[in-house]
């Protein structure tokens, strides 16, 4: 069992995935900082300081007045549509930035003449194709 685990853990795909996860986590912090510290303040300044995160609908009578969203959440059930809008906007910004990064990497690869390796069919796919072809001949 230990040798099987070693084979699994040392396969190229597993190592590539682990590296991708680690780099993705580090890149996520950079993108979060870009969104929270640079882009969102600019959007807030352009919209006159508009902050959706405190927009909510109270769902219980226990919430009196209009406290901040987190205080209202502690007091009772609230429908925090503003928080959802904030997260959705952040997602769209992050997705657009990642799109630009991936597009730029692809452009640089084309300029350098790098071709991505296309994966051929796996052994299972070849075997299934052969089985299909034999069944079709019957």
pLDDT in tens, 115-128: 666 667 888 888 89
Q: What is the mean pLDDT of the chain?
A: 82
Q: Is 57 helix (H, G, I), strand (E, B) or coil?
A: strand
Q: Are residues 56 and 71 in the same domain?
A: yes
**Helix, strand, coil content of the chain in percent (nearest 5):** 70, 5, 25
Q: Are residues 58 and 32 in the same domain?
A: no
Q: Are residues 42 and 57 in the same domain?
A: no
CB 79 within 8 A of CB 59: yes
Domain stops at, among 13, 28, 49: 49
- pTM of the full structure: 0.53
Pair of tokens at residue 112: 């350098």
Q: Are residues 78 and 124 in the same domain?
A: yes
Please write the tens of the pLDDT for every residue from 29-68.
Answer: 887 788 778 877 887 788 887 777 788 888 888 888 888 8
Q: How many domains does the chain have?
A: 2
What is the distance between the terminal CA atoms of the chain, rounded to a whole angstrom? Answer: 42
Q: Given a cut of 80, is residue 15 above it in pLDDT?
A: no
Q: Are residues 70 and 119 in the same domain?
A: yes
Q: Are residues 69 and 125 in the same domain?
A: yes
Beta bridge partners of 78: 58
Q: Which domain holds residue 42?
A: 1-49
């Amino acid at each position: 069992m230990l040798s099987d685990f070693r084979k699994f853990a040392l396969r190229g795909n597993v190592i590539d995935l682990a590296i991708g996860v680690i780099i993705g986590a580090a890149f996520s912090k950079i993108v979060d900082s870009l969104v929270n510290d640079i882009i969102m303040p600019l959007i807030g300044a352009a919209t006159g300081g508009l902050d959706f995160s405190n927009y909510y609908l109270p769902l219980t009578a226990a919430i009196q007045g209009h406290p901040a969203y987190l205080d209202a959440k502690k007091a009772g059930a609230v429908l925090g549509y503003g928080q959802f809008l904030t997260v959705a906007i952040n997602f769209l910004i992050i997705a657009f930035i990642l799109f630009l990064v991936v597009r730029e990497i692809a452009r640089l690869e084309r300029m350098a003449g790098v071709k991505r390796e296309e994966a051929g069919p796996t052994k299972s796919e070849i075997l299934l194709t052969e089985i299909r072809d034999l069944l079709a001949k019957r």
